[in-house]
Structure 1
Amino acid sequence: MISFFKTKPVLADLIPDNHVDIHSHLIPGVDDGAKNIEETLSLLQKMANIGFKNSITTPHIITNIWNNTEADIVKRHQEILPVVQAQTGINQFNVGIEYMLDDHFLKRLAGEKLLTLKDNYILVEMSYLNPPIQLFEIIFEIHLAGYKPILAHPERYLFYHRNTKELDKLKNTGCLFQLNLLATVDYYGATITKMADKLLHSDYYDFVGSDIHHQNHVNAFDRKVQVKNTAALEKVIQKNLFFLE
């Protein structure tokens, strides 16, 4: 009997060997990601086996939670870089930052040189509880300062699920969107997957990221993709080639 139902692919199988990951938490001891260098190396090796041969890791800066500075993060990255290069199959291991758009961000924007993913592209996030009141002012100031914001995981902000017009407005400001790959395999729940599918259908995503913090995240790449728009997913995965050195 011929089946008319196409088998869903495993997420790991959609990752090309030269893929560049632009969102992860792999520098040990600086945030809620890798706890030590051994875990960093283990995660990177397993990511390389999936296809993540290039990585731009992005520690959090969240005031009063992860009080990191650009200088501290760069220093820590430089300390572990020789070990990473010697012990993993990673071709490229660079560092950016995942900046929280909060009350302190505009001060940082005015007083610091931000750590970019490439050129003038920066990764930003919002609270999962609600967007900042001055969100559009912040986005305007980011552009005015010469940076291009990439909003991490818009599918995970539940306050936008019933108000997608606000996402339309964000796109119209020139804010780019980054899909968390694990949102396509129900890792964060079916509601998040449904929103990711909707944004894929609307061609709203510009890039993807693993957002890997720990072993469970890596393991989830063995799950089957649950979104309907797999062609759109494969297309946006390819867009990460932009970050290849």
Structure 2
Amino acid sequence: MVDIHSHILFSVDDGAKDIEESINLIEQAIELGYTDIVCSSHYYIDLYENENYDKNFNILKSEIEKRGLNIKIHKGNEIRVTDEIFKKLDGMNPLGNSKYILVEITNRTMYQACKNSLKKFIELGYKPVLAHIERYPNIKMSEFLELYNMGVVFQMNVKTTETLSEKISYLLKNGYIKVVATDTHHLEYRNYKLEKYFNILKDLVGEKHFEELTTINPQKILENKEIDFNIEEENNDKQKNDTSNGIFKSIWSKLFSRT
């Protein structure tokens, strides 16, 4: 598996405190089945601006090689979208050597501002990956679909599988969410002890879709390859057929009107 969202790089943001914690988290990740991890430390203007990132990344990479750990780490950032971000794009790390960038918004961000920022990233040649979409309850279903049709990649945190809302469940099961990652931070909590949640995910979506979410699509991101945005026809047909069902109509109405 490939994790494009983690905070395992030590002493850069609110993630791992030191190199030993980084190594311990990596050992957990290997046991879980990961082969690649993006060190997507926070990039917040005036708070976390990649100070010591390159130095600590190289130290961690050397320590991994020294210990013979079978894993690759990649550079990246989780970029907080603000009015100031476009003045400091040179300081951020895309995911691997790709044009994909992991971005997040605050719960206070209005949808139109979110849309405009993501559109600007796209116009600049980037491919935005919207982090942990389950954290934005104020974005309506119709708005999520608008972002999707713009080319925004949706990423969900795996722990969400235990408490899926109707909206996120629909996006996951119908193929709109393209990547499931961990957002790992610490050994004490938000670590790689996640087997339970991955088993839930596999039961929800099936083996083939599980591989796409955890390995195939994340690998495409690292290799700067295009992710397939076509929704399978069988899903579209099912929606059309189910639309005649009153229960489905009720649920569909709630999803699209929910704020």
Provide the TM-score with structure 1 as the length reference. 0.78
Aligned equivalents of 2:221, 2:143: Cα separation in 1: 28
Q: 1:68 aligns with which of 49, 59, 66?
A: 49
Per-residue CA deviations over 1:105-148 (Å, capped at 9, x if unaligned) read: 12123xx1641114211111111333465222212221222111
Aligned residues: 216
Q: Of 141, 144, 148, which residue of structure 2 is paired with 1:171? A: 148
Equivalent residue letter for 1:180: N
Percent of aligned pairs with the same amino acid: 27
The code of the aligned residue for 1:222 comes to K
In 2, Cα distance between equivalents of 1:222 and 1:228: 11
Shift of 1:87: 2.3
Match of 2:196 in 1: 222
Letter of the structure 2 residue corresponding to residue 229 of structure 1: L
Question: Do the aligned residues in 1 keep the contact of 2:173 with 2:205 (CA within 8 Å)?
Answer: no
Cα distance in 2 between the residues matched to 1:219 and 1:133: 37
Does 1:145 find its partner at 2:143? no
The equivalences for 1:158-237 within 5 A come to: 158-160=137-139, 163-184=140-161, 186=162, 190=163, 192=164, 194-215=166-187, 216-217=189-190, 218-223=192-197, 224-225=199-200, 229-231=204-206, 232-237=209-214
- Pairing partner for 1:242 from 220, 231, 246: 220
Q: Does 2:37 match 1:55?
A: yes
Aligned residue number for residue 99 of structure 2 = 120
Distance in 2 between residues matched to 1:227 and 1:130, nearest whole Å: 32
Contact preservation (8 Å) 1:20, 1:241: yes
| Residue 209 to residue 140, structure 1, CA distance change in 2 (3 Å) | same
**Unmatched 5+ residue regions in structure 1?**
1-18
Per the normalisation by structure 2, the TM-score is 0.74
Structure 2 unmatched runs, 5+: 224-259
Distance 1:51 1:226 in 2: 15
Q: Aligned to 2:12, which of 14, 21, 30?
A: 30
In proportion to residue count, which structure has more helix?
2
CA distance in 2 between partners of 1:113 and 1:41 (Å): 26
